[in-house]
Structure 1
Amino acid sequence: MEINCVFAPATDTPDHIVLAEQLGYQRAWVYDVPVSYADTGATLGIAATRTSTIRLGVSVFTEHLRHITTNAGLIAHLATLAPGRFDAGVGAGFTSSAYLGRKGSRWADVERYVEDLRTLLAGGEIERDGTVLSLMHMPASGISLPVEVDFWVAAHGPKGFATAGRLGAGVVTNPTHGDEPVPFDGQCQLTYYGTVLEDGEALDSRRVIDAAGAGAGLALHMGQYGPLAGMPEAEGYHEAIAAVDERHRHLELFRGHLMEPSDLDRQFLTGDVIRRGTLTGTRDEIAASLQRLVEAGANAVLYQPSGPDIPRELAAFLEVAEQFRDTPGTSSPNTTASPASEVQHA
């Protein structure tokens, strides 16, 4: 089982990616939300020049935020800086759509988007809006086509999994697929939010709220469609966000998304919300969670550290994960055992 990490990128994320490589993480990805995070390309460009073995990637590109040629050019540049170790995730758009007040893309459009990106990176031509498009890097640019990268699809339902299967891509998803294992046979990474508790540490301590609050905030944002369904905190958050002016509600809903809890989020972050909305736990509890993820069909876990002490989060989680992998009888996929629904997750 691969132990990977993903960041809501900040200006110090390149330092954290260097540390992740030193610690032994196999991949380090960043989210792509330019209205909230440090720039994706600048972050990974710096990290690429300071690392040599860890795989870098974006989770995920969408067609909402940039023209397809801009994303293709960025992928080509990053893959050149990190040859043989760049991953490109693509999705229908959840956060990026919400920030723009739009709905996500249709899966047929996502499939075409990946196919067109592959064509552009191979040096071919595509047609969009009646215009022929191509990447045209000359030798002086330092970028040579074709460029080969591994593609991943952010999928959370049957249409997304089917799209990934047709594309021959890996899947990035979460462990909330009902009473059945993840319905995908290829490479599958399950996201993991939360913090490793110190001995005797309370779930509602200041450190835990700061470190796990961003992941729990996502659960609040999901409301009745997420792991906090039926909880008074989820209902209270829903009422509070509904009171925000409609023209700005979509902005407040995702303020601080997966980076740090907003002032509104913090009003509803309790120990119970941390417990149900993230995979926070003791070392033994996190090892048990990792085993359930393996049994749900994960080939890899994609851990997102957050809070004021990212180095501590990276080191603590990897220590638990490595002990888990080294324990006899663990890490053997068994798709007939413990369903993913047993894992509370945002």
Structure 2
Amino acid sequence: MAMELACTFSTSIATPEHIRIAEELGYVSAWCHYSPAIYADPWMMLALASERTTRIGLGVAVVVPRFRHVADVAGCTATLTQLAPGRVTVAVGSGFSSTALLGGRGTTWASVEAFVTNLRALLGGERIELDGRSMSLLHSKESGISLPIEVPIWVAAHGPKAFGVASRVADGVITNPTHGNEKIPFEGTCGLSYYGTVLDPGEAFDDPAVIERVGPTAALALHMGPYGPLSGSVEEKGFTEQINALPEEDRLVATHRGHLISLTDLDRRFLNGNVVRDGTLSGTPAEIRAGLDALEEAGASRFCYTPAGSDIPRELEAFAKAFHL
């Protein structure tokens, strides 16, 4: 089956309208990033999006068990499913930037696995045992919520433990291509979340307009430091040196402030055409299509495009045209 085109959003108040546009452009799903310290609430924005759309899949990527009780997530999922029947997916992960921005650490993968198992059971109308207590969803017909509900549950996987959990309990995985070109170790549906911008004729990677369009997502390549696609570059070394000069307790927050949605002054110091070229999937439409072909060969069945900058509709349309070349 050919790779599908989806999108993920750094959730803002404008996201419901962007999801409407994505549906018109043929994107198969639109998922909202969840990071309470920097993004608008994804459940609220998806509820609004459900009123503006009829076909596009809707989801949260990713739910972090440390932030919400599993019954809370089950209730939100059940509610959104009533608003958009057959269109809802939930992705669960251990958390990184979202937890770091609130001064915490990610959840263990054992906890993620238990969370997925319990979430599926609650949505199925079953009782679960949690923290020594038995519980279930108790929605009556007067609430408008009907159980049981079958919702695909994916796992955000970025390493052996995560892919192991996904293989046991997930309906799909969402990952990214910045960890190398090896075959994705998952047999089911795999979505690759990535970003970039389509160059207009005559544009170069270091043009100011290009930097502004793709900057918030390109900066992630700097944030990954020596473990990312810019490892060893002048830009990565400079950024990493500045981060390491900070007190240890401030480094994660300083690194991920504005994650995928805005640029910090530190980002701008090291963000240039080299970062755009080597840290994103940007280029001419033909170059982007070639990059997508390589990702599909590695095992991706869905490409989840994350647009950035001040003109999200432009990015969605340009990338969709490149995808369908």
| Residue aligned with 1:267, SS | helix
| Residue aligned with 1:16, SS | helix
Q: 1:311 maps to what in 2?
A: 313
Q: Is the 8 A contact 1:64 1:96 kept in 2?
A: no
Alpha-carbon distance in structure 2 between the residues aligned to 1:284 and 1:35: 37
Alpha-carbon distance in structure 1 between the residues aligned to 2:101 and 2:65: 14
Aligned Cα root-mean-square deviation (Å):
1.4
Q: Is the 8 A contact 2:43 2:60 kept in 1?
A: no
Q: 2:94 maps to what in 1?
A: 92
Alpha-carbon distance in structure 2 between the residues aligned to 1:70 and 1:243: 40
| Residue aligned with 2:324, SS | helix
Q: 2:186 maps to what in 1?
A: 184
Alpha-carbon distance in structure 2 between the residues aligned to 1:179 and 1:10: 32
Alpha-carbon distance in structure 1 between the residues aligned to 2:184 and 2:220: 21
Q: Quick check: 1:233 aligned with 2:217?
A: no
Alignment of 1:227-266 (within 5 A): 227-266=229-268
Structure 1 unaligned runs (5+)? 324-346
Alignment of 1:109-124 (within 5 A): 109-124=111-126
Q: Is the 8 A contact 2:63 2:93 kept in 1?
A: yes
Q: Shift of the alpha carbon at 1:238? A: 1.4
| Residue aligned with 1:59, SS | strand
Alpha-carbon distance in structure 2 between the residues aligned to 1:3 and 1:300: 6
Q: Shift of the alpha carbon at 1:157? A: 1.7
Q: Shift of the alpha carbon at 1:214? A: 1.5
| Residue aligned with 2:149, SS | coil
Q: Is the 8 A contact 1:34 1:40 kept in 2?
A: no
* TM-score in terms of structure 1 length: 0.90
Residue type at the aligned position of 1:161: F
Residue type at the aligned position of 2:32: V
Alpha-carbon distance in structure 1 between the residues aligned to 2:182 and 2:254: 34
| Residue aligned with 1:103, SS | coil
Alpha-carbon distance in structure 2 between the residues aligned to 1:296 and 1:242: 34
Query: 3-12 or 171-180, which moves further after superposition?
Result: 171-180
Q: 1:27 maps to what in 2?
A: 29
| Residue aligned with 2:22, SS | helix
Residue type at the aligned position of 1:8: S
Output one character per residue of 1:209-238: Cα deviation in whole Å (capped at 9) or x when no partner: 112111221111110010111012111111
Q: Is the 8 A contact 2:23 2:55 kept in 1?
A: yes
Q: 1:338 maps to what in 2?
A: none
Q: Shift of the alpha carbon at 1:104? A: 2.1
Q: Shift of the alpha carbon at 1:179? A: 4.8
Alpha-carbon distance in structure 2 between the residues aligned to 1:191 and 1:93: 15
Q: Is the 8 A contact 2:101 2:257 kept in 1?
A: no
Q: Is the 8 A contact 1:65 1:96 kept in 2?
A: no
Alignment of 1:49-64 (within 5 A): 49-64=51-66
Alignment of 1:323-334 (within 5 A): 323=325
Q: Shift of the alpha carbon at 1:322? A: 1.1
Q: Is the 8 A contact 1:194 1:278 kept in 2?
A: yes
Output one character per residue of 1:127-169: Cα deviation in whole Å (capped at 9) or x when no partner: 2222222221122211111111111111112221221111142
Residue type at the aligned position of 2:232: G
Residue type at the aligned position of 2:283: G
Identity %: 52
Residue type at the aligned position of 1:128: L
Q: 2:198 maps to what in 1?
A: 196
Residue type at the aligned position of 1:152: W
Alpha-carbon distance in structure 1 between the residues aligned to 2:292 and 2:263: 25
Q: 1:279 maps to what in 2?
A: 281
Q: Shift of the alpha carbon at 1:247? A: 4.1
Q: 2:223 aligns with which of 214, 221, 224?
A: 221
Query: 102-111 or 48-57, which moves further after superposition?
Result: 102-111
Q: Is the 8 A contact 1:92 1:105 kept in 2?
A: yes
Q: Against the structure 1 CA distance between its residues 6 and 179, is the aligned structure 2 distance closer, same or farther, given a 3 Å change threshold?
A: closer
